[in-house]
């Protein structure tokens, strides 16, 4: 443990042996001096120590405080102590645990040091032994990791971060919040990326927290984290330009994103050779949103056939890219779509505008998103991810861990640094070839197998029957 005093030139270093000797001094002092002593529990409550026993506050009498043995449940010990008398009320039913008492005393004093000094715990040789027999039993109770966490909790509680800036121009990051790592090199190594953004947890000065992840063997690793003040194409361009400036060799094979046109435009401009794939889950959500906007939600819920026919549109994602338009035309010319044109026309027009383009004379206007972006046919055959739901899962866990919306910038960055340390460990395991701990749930595995069976038989299945078989295996 290295201790810096409030005077910058004074520094003291304690090794594990020093801590053990410190225990010994306290133990010797304890045997020579027997007055009552009060310490705090891990939850901050007062504990009274007397004759090697610890007592917690029980209740208040008319003119006294009554303390109960902390082991009253473990040993059925009914002994109590009154702080206004010179003797205990009853004998204890068990021997005192001197080592535990002294460990608590020392940790209490280390907390006091942590509250008044800057402390950093360094790892020392854990195999080092302490020859003092009396100290040995006490040292066994000292867990360096838990002691470190205790000190860190005290420091976190008492240390005040810089004031939260009111404007983006007021934001100046101190050195302790700066971090340089090799994430860009790792991003270059892994050729398949996923990206998405969240909004709820970001500090108020920003509009979005955007992350880029690498994925391999069903494991995602967040490597790039960006706080953005807006979500325009220019902002995405600037973000990607910074990435390429810091590592010109970045050249991913593919990236899965949600359907944000601004990011797609910026990314396709910076990474010309990368295959941009849209998340199929978000593709379905776009269709479902249009069902709701057009007032078709009640019909979708109540009419089973209408539900299935709407899913035929989502099923077009599993048709080979060069045949999507042909299958779409067959679908809108089918008996059901013709007979229910009043209910389905708005959905059909939306699908043309957004996903396949309107046909005008002898040409088709380009859609908002190219068919190759949202098509999943090849991804199913090659067993490639169709969604970036794992990224959304990471974002969800990130939000929950922060505990509140729109946290301060300092809390956000501090938590991000902790997350970085965890992800570096996961990355090392991934690089070493350790198999992914996550196994696909049986229901999802069965679902993927059914989709694959249908897609494999594409050439042998009539168009409308093929769409119906896919539609029966998907849901919004």
Query: How confident is the model over 186-209, as pLDDT tens digits?
Result: 888 889 999 999 998 899 899 999
How far is the C-alpha of 133 from the C-alpha of 126, rounded, in Å? 18
Tell me which of 151 and 64 has the higher pLDDT: 64
Residue partners of 462: CB distance under 8 A and separation at least 6: none
CA distance linking residue 114 with residue 156, whole number of Å = 10
C-beta separation of 77 from 92 below 8 A: yes
62 against 408, higher pLDDT: 408
What six digits make up the tokens of 463? 């168009």
Which of 40-49, 65-74, 281-290, 427-436 reaches the highest mean pLDDT? 281-290
| pLDDT for residue 147 | 56
Q: Which residue has the tokens 């194409």?
A: 233
Q: Which of 96-105, 135-144, 464-473 has the lowest mean pLDDT?
A: 135-144
Residue 118 has a pLDDT of 41
Alpha-carbon Rg for the chain, nearest whole angstrom, is 32
Domains of the chain: 2-51+96-158 (no CATH), 53-91 (no CATH), 175-279+387-431 (3.30.420.10), 281-384+441-471 (no CATH)
Alpha helices for 303-388 (secondary structure H)? 304-315, 324-332, 335-339, 341-351, 371-374, 377-381
Residue 9: per-residue pLDDT? 46
Give the pLDDT band of residue 40 (cuts 50, 70, 90): confident
Q: Which helix (H) or strand (E) holds 275?
A: strand 275-278
Query: Is the pLDDT confidence value at 358 over 80?
Result: yes
Instruction: Give the 3-state secondary structure of residue 216.
Output: strand
28 exposure class (CB count in 10 Å sphere: 0-12, 13-18, 19+): exposed
pLDDT band per the 50, 70, 90 thresholds, residue 108: low
Rounded to whole angstroms, the Cα distance separating 55 from 81 reads 8
User: Cα 288 vs. chain centroid, distance in angstroms?
Assistant: 27
* Mean pLDDT on 425-440: 74
End-to-end CA distance of the chain: 56
Q: Are 279 and 391 in contact (CB under 8 A)?
A: no
Residue 135, pLDDT score: 42
User: With 90 as the cut, is the pLDDT of residue 271 above it?
Assistant: yes
Region 147-164 average pLDDT: 62
CB contact at 8 A, 81 and 70: no
Lowest mean pLDDT among 417-426, 456-465, 467-476: 417-426
- Once rounded to an integer, what is the mean pLDDT over residues 442-454? 92
How much helix, strand and coil, in percent to the nearest 5, is found in the chain?
50, 15, 35
Average pLDDT over residues 305-316: 97
Q: Cα 192 to the chain's mean position, in Å?
A: 20
Higher pLDDT, residue 403 or 129: 403
pLDDT of residue 31: 43
pLDDT band at residue 138 under the 50/70/90 scheme: very low
Model confidence over 416-430: pLDDT tens digits? Answer: 888 887 888 788 777
- Rounded to whole angstroms, the Cα distance separating 401 from 221 reads 17
Range among 31-45, 107-121, 171-185 rated most confident:
171-185
The Cα 68–Cα 59 span in angstroms is: 9
Whole-number Å distance between alpha carbons of 470 and 466: 6
Q: Which of 172-181, 354-363, 375-384, 409-418 has the highest mean pLDDT?
A: 375-384
Q: What number is the average pLDDT over the span 300-316?
A: 96
């Amino acid at each position: 443990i290295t201790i810096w005093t409030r005077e910058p030139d004074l520094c003291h270093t304690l090794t594990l042996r020093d801590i053990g000797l410190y225990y010994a001094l306290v133990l010797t002092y304890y045997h020579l001096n027997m007055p009552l002593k009060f310490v705090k529990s891990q939850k901050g409550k007062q504990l009274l120590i007397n004759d090697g026993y610890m007592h917690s506050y029980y209740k208040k009498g008319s003119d006294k405080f009554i303390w109960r043995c902390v082991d009253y449940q473990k040993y059925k010990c009914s002994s109590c102590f009154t702080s206004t008398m010179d003797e205990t009320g009853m004998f204890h039913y068990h021997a005192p645990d001197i080592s535990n008492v002294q460990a608590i005393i020392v940790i209490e004093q280390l907390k006091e040091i942590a509250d008044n000094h800057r402390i950093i715990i360094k790892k020392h040789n854990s195999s080092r032994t302490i020859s003092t027999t009396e100290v040995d039993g006490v040292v066994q109770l000292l867990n360096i990791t838990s002691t470190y966490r205790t000190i860190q909790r005290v420091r976190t509680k008492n240390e005040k971060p810089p004031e939260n800036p009111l404007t983006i121009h007021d934001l100046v990051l101190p050195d302790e919040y700066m971090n340089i790592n090799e994430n860009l090199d790792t991003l270059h190594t892994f050729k398949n990326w996923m990206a998405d953004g969240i909004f709820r947890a970001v500090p108020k000065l920003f509009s979005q927290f955007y992350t880029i992840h690498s994925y391999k063997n069903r494991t995602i690793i967040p490597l790039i984290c960006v706080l953005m003040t807006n979500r325009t194409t220019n902002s995405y361009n600037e973000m990607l330009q910074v990435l390429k400036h810091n590592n010109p060799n970045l050249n991913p094979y593919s990236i899965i994103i949600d359907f944000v046109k601004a990011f797609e435009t910026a990314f396709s401009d910076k990474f010309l050779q990368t295959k941009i794939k849209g998340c199929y889950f978000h593709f379905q959500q776009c269709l479902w949103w249009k069902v709701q906007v057009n007032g078709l939600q009640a019909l979708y819920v109540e009419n089973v056939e209408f539900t299935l026919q709407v899913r035929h549109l989502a099923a077009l994602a599993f048709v080979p890219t060069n045949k999507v338009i042909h299958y779409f035309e067959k679908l809108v010319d089918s008996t059901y779509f013709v007979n229910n044109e009043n209910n389905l026309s708005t959905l059909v027009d939306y699908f043309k505008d957004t996903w396949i383009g309107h046909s005008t004379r002898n040409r088709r206007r380009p859609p908002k998103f190219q068919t190759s972006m949202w098509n999943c046919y090849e991804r199913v055959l090659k067993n490639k991810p169709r969604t970036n739901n794992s990224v959304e899962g990471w974002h969800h866990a990130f939000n929950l861990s922060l505990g509140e919306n729109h946290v301060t910038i300092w809390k956000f960055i501090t938590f991000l640094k902790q997350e970085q340390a965890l992800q570096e460990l996961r990355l090392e395991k991934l690089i070493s070839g350790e198999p992914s701990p996550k196994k696909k749930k049986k229901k999802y595995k069965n679902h993927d197998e059914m989709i694959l069976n249908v897609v494999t038989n594409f050439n042998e299945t009539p168009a409308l029957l093929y769409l119906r078989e896919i539609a029966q295996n998907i849901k919004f």
